[in-house]
Structure 1
């Protein structure tokens, strides 16, 4: 490519993750242990990838990672494997295990445990991975960045000999394309094109992948637009680009001061960034390739990436905001006869939710522990105290703004006392138990603002009717 990529969403990857560390990785699907894996994170923070001798490269996409935990994953139950792992390092297995939780939704979570040689290494990786995952901007990047991610993933998923199988490339473009056509495109680019051939990663550059992409998936829509604007010429002039950007590309609803109209200086910068031909740059021309790369770049991301940060005033009363809320948070599926899970509270809070619901009922067992379930709907139940513990651990991982616990309280007075005790003991200083200084809870006085309530957990509890409570 003519110019290096500039990512305005990029987070700095800690040096320890770039250099890599040696871990033993547990494969949940095959229930096998892969030892002495060199685990790394790429410089852009796209992937966590690892490989051991004689094995294929493994990749986890950071945008699909929703939690990093210190300790064993719940699905490791092979006692023989655990015994082997305990002998391969110093310190307890719990303190050395980095568990990566990933998935495309909040219910089907995959746990990938990586066991370090010592507790200090595990701690560094937990903190480092948490700093680069849960990156909302990285999940809304432009098509060009997505192409770079596809290319990098192919380069990481090498076979045991360290080469890229041609079949991996054909699978990448499999949707609606024949394998024969993909092999022909590889041949035209001077790359190995046999079904069982392999490609050296050094030969499979991003430029080659980009050319391959346009051969297999040509952007005919952009080509037709280019022909329409250029009148059949092989370039667009500065004047034509100014007209296109202002009249067709720019949203007319935008503020003209914050988002000024394009002029010749701005267009010259775009040409200098995306045009490959030096002669065209000097004349103020942009060819089809440069025009295509501009439209696919971060400047034309699907959303304004800066709007994914906190950009509004957070000093207004709490009641002035829409709050990201979850109904029947504990359910993993159906409202009737469905399964309840403590994990759901972790997942919704990690995904940005700020208000969760707890349907509280008297426990059925002799210990009389309060439970959470969908009352009279034959759903499974979970312990109230386990949910409070999960909320404490994940409430402020992705945001410091307040979390509201919405109690639908069906418990007796005795079990309500146990609930309040759990909230006080487990949540500690996070729990808001008295009015914020200077903001009394009185009529007409506005509620405190999100900034005033940072790292505070609020309880919204509907009391039982007096006659019900008495009974």
Structure 2
């Protein structure tokens, strides 16, 4: 690999200094790696900086349901073939887990007029975000939202589709959606102007917009949007008082951090320390045992089990690399120490060597 990478960029910069590794996956255990080699070290550093900014963005990591649907639509849209069609197989992947699901997808696409008659595919020119939302509504109908509309507006039960007027929408926003504990000055009650703004934003039917009405489809769009997030966007960043004693807080902690699976037979991995710290964990566990071999350095494993072991040295290096990447708040190292006095001394040296002045070894002034 080094010989191949040396063909690109300056030979003055080591390949290791120009390589960016992107780790991704559905969870912290089942991860994949993709390596990229830049032409120079400064470019690799810029890549790392920008990718890390995206990966740790609070808004990106707390999407609304609408945002998740939009991501799915984007992924489907870019899978079109050279003729501009999206294969049904690409629709099955995110939505179908068995044969019946595939039939429901075919029916939903057909009912929305998206399924091409010439080939089992969808024309990407017709497949905008609004068409995708219509398809999703057909695939997973929300009868409960129709029921909400009918409860607020009983007169719509005889109509072809459920809707509410602007006054009923205001009542829904203030009596059902709003937290009554909120400060009325900071979080004022919804009024006609606010309700009309939301109707214009989420109602797909212009005729209903002109009548100040919101259909069940428009109400669903509002309910899954960022406007209806459980946590307001302005509260995603730190908003609590962080000057209290450490014991006053719930601490994001990890048990048996090194294990990637079963508690008795699982595989241990140093990488898991990196992953949990990069996701904001502030307390990790290290079960330390005497190591064997020539160097006789401590190892981390689940004692008296069939779990594999990892190097204590490599673990401390991983913690040093990632402990304060996403947070400046303290990291607690929870040691379960089974080492002999001789290897305990090696543990102490490795901890000091790897953590340096980041290690809290004396009480802080003013915090006995």
TM tier relative to shorter chain = 0.7 to 0.9
- In the alignment, which residue of structure 2 is the partner of 1:370? 298
Change (3 A) 1:160 1:435: farther
CA shift, 1:302, in A, is 4.4
In the TM superposition, what whole-angstrom CA distance separates every residue of 1:274-311 from its partner, at most 9, and x where no partner exists?
A: 34566655654333443232122111224444443221
In the TM superposition, what whole-angstrom CA distance separates every residue of 1:304-357 from its partner, at most 9, and x where no partner exists?
A: 444432211001111211111222222222333432221121121112210111
Alignment of 1:225-264 (within 5 A): 225-233=148-156, 235-264=163-192
In structure 2, what is the Cα distance between the partners aligned to 1:171 and 1:133? 25
In the TM superposition, what whole-angstrom CA distance separates every residue of 1:411-437 from its partner, at most 9, and x where no partner exists?
A: 233322222222222212211222323
- If the length of structure 2 is used for normalisation, what is the TM-score? 0.85
- In the alignment, which residue of structure 1 is the partner of 2:256? 328
In structure 1, what is the Cα distance between the partners aligned to 2:114 and 2:264? 59
Q: Does 1:317 align with 2:245?
A: yes
Q: Is the 1:237–1:284 contact (alpha carbons within 8 Å) kept by the matching residues of 2?
A: yes
- In the alignment, which residue of structure 2 is the partner of 1:16? none
Alignment of 1:190-209 (within 5 A): 192-197=116-121, 199=123, 201-209=124-132
- In the alignment, which residue of structure 1 is the partner of 2:347? 419
- Between 1:181-190 and 1:210-219, the stretch displaced more is 181-190
Alignment of 1:3-402 (within 5 A): 83-90=3-10, 91-159=13-81, 164-174=86-96, 176-179=100-103, 182=106, 185-186=109-110, 189=113, 192-197=116-121, 199=123, 201-233=124-156, 235-275=163-203, 280-281=208-209, 283-402=211-330
Q: Is the 2:153–2:168 contact (alpha carbons within 8 Å) kept by the matching residues of 1?
A: yes
In structure 2, what is the Cα distance between the partners aligned to 1:324 and 1:121? 34
CA shift, 1:179, in A, is 4.1
SS in structure 2 opposite 1:408? strand
- In the alignment, which residue of structure 1 is the partner of 2:159? none
Q: Is the 2:258–2:268 contact (alpha carbons within 8 Å) kept by the matching residues of 1?
A: yes
Q: Is the 2:8–2:39 contact (alpha carbons within 8 Å) kept by the matching residues of 1?
A: yes
Change (3 A) 1:159 1:97: farther
In the TM superposition, what whole-angstrom CA distance separates every residue of 1:183-242 from its partner, at most 9, and x where no partner exists?
A: 67358536634555463x444322222222233333322223223322233642222122
In the TM superposition, what whole-angstrom CA distance separates every residue of 1:97-126 from its partner, at most 9, and x where no partner exists?
A: 221111222222111122334333322211
In structure 1, what is the Cα distance between the partners aligned to 2:3 and 2:110? 48
Q: Is the 1:184–1:193 contact (alpha carbons within 8 Å) kept by the matching residues of 2?
A: no
Greater share of helix residues, 1 or 2? 2
SS in structure 2 opposite 1:266? helix
SS in structure 1 opposite 2:155? coil
Structure 2 unaligned runs (5+)? Answer: 157-161
Q: Is the 1:98–1:126 contact (alpha carbons within 8 Å) kept by the matching residues of 2?
A: yes
Q: Is the 1:142–1:302 contact (alpha carbons within 8 Å) kept by the matching residues of 2?
A: no
- If the length of structure 1 is used for normalisation, what is the TM-score? 0.68
- Between 1:209-218 and 1:422-431, the stretch displaced more is 209-218
Q: Is the 2:108–2:139 contact (alpha carbons within 8 Å) kept by the matching residues of 1?
A: no
Change (3 A) 1:166 1:89: farther
- Between 1:354-363 and 1:223-232, the stretch displaced more is 223-232
Change (3 A) 1:136 1:316: same
Q: Is the 2:280–2:326 contact (alpha carbons within 8 Å) kept by the matching residues of 1?
A: yes
Q: How many pairs are equivalent?
A: 359
In structure 1, what is the Cα distance between the partners aligned to 2:316 and 2:105? 56
Alignment of 1:449-460 (within 5 A): none
